[in-house]
Structure formats: structure tokens, C-alpha cells
Amino acid sequence: MTLLSEETLKKLDEPDKKKVEYFVRLLLRHEKYKSLKKEIEERREEVSKGEVVAHDEFWKKMNV
């Protein structure tokens, strides 16, 4: 597998460049938020089991 070089990108027409840019951004965003997505999924499981902290409990723990 070869990397897409800047030289190759220059040969593409503008609409195709936009498509490549779109998919690269999509992939980068997916990787960037992968850990956040995992955390959200874990929290959903906790919430469904009733393992949540109430608003008042949170502030009491913070001693504010």
C-alpha cells in the first residue's frame, strides 16, 4: 500500500480533491473521538443499571 502523496492529489480535479478531504477528515474525526465514544458507551451501561450520581450528591462530594 502506498501513501497518497501531494503530487497525486495535485493531479485530481477539484471535486475529487474535496471527496478525498472529506473522507480523510471523517477518518481522523472517528479516531479522535474513539476514546470518548467508548466512555459514553460505558456510562450508558452504568446509567441503565441505575449507577448514577445525583446533582446534589456531586456538589456535596465537591465540598462547594
The Cβ of residue 17 has, within 10 Å, a number of other Cβ atoms equal to 13
Mean pLDDT of 3-9: 79
Task: Please list the alpha-helical segments (H only) found in the chain.
Answer: 6-11, 14-32, 34-48, 55-62
The domain ranges of the chain are 34-64
1 versus 39: which is more confidently predicted?
A: 39
Residue 52: phi and psi, rounded to 5, are -125, 160
64 pLDDT band, cuts 50/70/90, is: low
The model's pTM is 0.46
| Cell representation of residue 55 | 446533582
pLDDT tens by residue, 7-60 = 888 899 999 999 999 988 888 788 778 888 888 888 888 888 888 878 888 888
pLDDT at residue 4 tops 80: no
